[in-house]
Amino acid sequence: MNTVSFADLKLAPELLRALTESGYTTPTPVQAQAIPVVLEGHDLMAGAQTGTGKTAAFALPLLQKLLPHASSSTSPARHPVRALILVPTRELAVQVEESVRAYAKHTNLRSLVVYGGVDIKTQTPHLKTGVEVLVATPGRLLDHIEQKTVLLNQVQVLVLDEADRMLDMGFMPALKRILALLPRQRQSLMFSATFSNEIKKLSEDFMNYPTLIEVARSNASAENITQKVYLVQQSDKHQLLAQILRGDDAKQVIVFTKTKLTASRLAKQLQREGVSADAIHGDKTQLERMQALDAFKQGKVAVLIATDVAARGLDIDHLPMVINYEIPHAAEDYVHRIGRTGRAGASGTAISLVSPEEERYLADIEKLIKTEIKKEKAALPEHAARPPRAPRAEQPERSHEYHRPAPSKPHHDPWFDKPYVPSISAPAVPVKKHEEPAPVKPKAQIPALFMRKPS
Ligand code: AMP
């Protein structure tokens, strides 16, 4: 049980005030572990994903470190970019910046978000007024760098948020270019849901003796998320979905599909059936996506159909239910998807509609989360009208923000692939750079790279 308070973490009064106003009473485990490490100036590598409170875990100490530079001056020169937060998607960028702004509301620190898909010219004037905290997607940041609308030579703190996702989306070349432009003397923080070999390599390349912290992969193993699988023919899925959506516990639901086309079609079909549904995916404009999200958050739309890319990082308070209309082929996406519900200790339900063709992907998911999900045969009334099958040519949606060079390769060090288990509660200690993982590891052992020093 975590009994630390935000005040115990020695946060400044102006930040504590903002937290009280946000309704936060107690730090989450990742906050309790990360905030002291960052305040002490260490680099940090954190195994934590959305839903754990990771945004505040880096945003609060980062703001505190910048407080001495807070200035009420209107001169842009007094507001250089001092903290850079890189995130994989626009939605996450917007949400992270909203959080930063909320926590900084009683300070003179400024924040701004820049992302692709909107006219770059609209962002430039804001950048020119000067901001201390810049939240950006890598591709758009490079555009600004090329146009010389942003300078990064005073960055003191760099955050890579959802680093695994950024690599999956092919951002490695962009990250390398950006990292090369930052001052060497800086603090680097990395948050990632998984630690693949690629992530490990990235951390070796750009971090300095990072302290490792990890929090339970709560979304995969959380007791507060009830996971359920309905075994159903692909052609019966629509009918089953409609049946579930008529249930009392389906007041606000995100439905995941693999393709943009299925998302659109499903939304239209449900609308015709009188369900207030909307779709978000990469073919919608940024404005349309924001509007759909706002309507959903305000409860005007009950069902939001989303692809993985569009839903990445979505933060909807108290979302009670997630439905996988199609299960993802990458098992980790399942964890990200169901992590939209059951946040900050609330309870949630994650239902997956699994056709016979998808059962092998389900097996991968169960292996990853080390849990056998309860399965039921779908009970559907007979003579139901069946919607047509999805055309074969549909492809899962990929981000268009940046070229994806190759599909992610299987990881070779199985330790880095396994789901998080609650970590040792001892305080985290810095780890040595360039140490190799121990060659043979008993099940619960931490590899040498992350080995804690005996205290
Ligand atoms: P994140 O993992 O940063 O996406 O946060 C997930 C959700 O938890 C967001 O809605 C946050 O506003 C909320 N949250 C973060 N920290 C706390 C806290 N200490 N107490 C209550 N809610 C929190």
| 63 Cβ inside 6 Å of ligand 1 | no
Q: Is 50 in the pocket of ligand 1 (CB under 6 A)?
A: yes
Calculate the alpha carbon distances from 414 to 219, 288, 373, 407 in Å. 20, 41, 22, 19
pLDDT of residue 91: 87
Helix-, strand-, coil-residue percentages of the chain, each rounded to 5: 40, 15, 45
Which three-class secondary structure state does DSSP give residue 387?
A: coil
Instruction: Tell the residue nearest (CA) to atom 1 of ligand 1.
Output: 53
> How many Å apart are CA 122 and CA 423, to the nearest integer?
44
Supply 172's token pair: 């490695």
Q: Find the 266 Cα to ligand 1 centroid distance in Å.
A: 31
Q: How many CB atoms lie within 10 A of CB 392?
A: 5
pLDDT of residue 230: 96
DSSP tag of 375: E
Greatest pairwise CA separation for the chain in angstroms: 71
Angle formed by the axes of helices 29-39 and 54-66, to 10°?
30
The rounded distance, in Å, linking the Cα atoms of 252 and 115 is 28
Q: Is 340 in the pocket of ligand 1 (CB under 6 A)?
A: no
Cβ–ligand 1 distance for 53 under 6 Å, the answer yes
pLDDT digit of tens for each residue in the chain (455 aa)? Answer: 447 899 999 999 999 999 999 999 889 889 999 999 999 999 999 988 777 889 999 999 999 999 999 999 999 999 999 999 999 999 899 999 999 999 999 999 999 999 998 999 999 999 999 999 999 999 999 999 999 999 999 999 999 999 988 998 899 999 999 999 999 999 999 999 877 788 888 888 899 999 999 875 544 445 678 899 999 999 999 999 999 998 877 788 999 999 889 999 999 999 999 899 999 877 777 778 778 888 888 888 999 999 877 666 566 767 889 999 999 988 878 887 887 787 666 678 999 999 999 999 999 988 888 788 999 988 877 645 444 444 444 455 544 333 333 333 333 333 323 333 333 333 333 433 333 233 333 332 222 223 233 32
Measured from the CB, is residue 6 less than 6 Å from ligand 1? no
Phi, psi of 320 (to 5 degrees): -80, -25
* Candidate of 89, 218, 315, 340 to mutate for ligand 1, largest count of ligand atoms within 8 Å of Cβ: 315
27 lines ligand 1 (CB under 6 A): yes
**How far is it, in rounded angstroms, from Cα 277 to Cα 298?**
13
Q: How far apart are CA 116 and CA 89, in angstroms?
A: 9
Domains of the chain: 7-214 (3.40.50.300), 225-377 (3.40.50.300)
| Sign, CA torsion 405/409/413/415 | positive
CA 38 to the chain's CA centroid: 20
Q: Who contacts 247 (Cβ-Cβ below 8 Å, separation ≥6)?
A: none
CA distance 33 to 56: 12
Run of H or E including 348:
strand 348-354
pTM of the predicted model as reported, rounded to 2 decimal places: 0.60
The SS3 of residue 303 is: strand
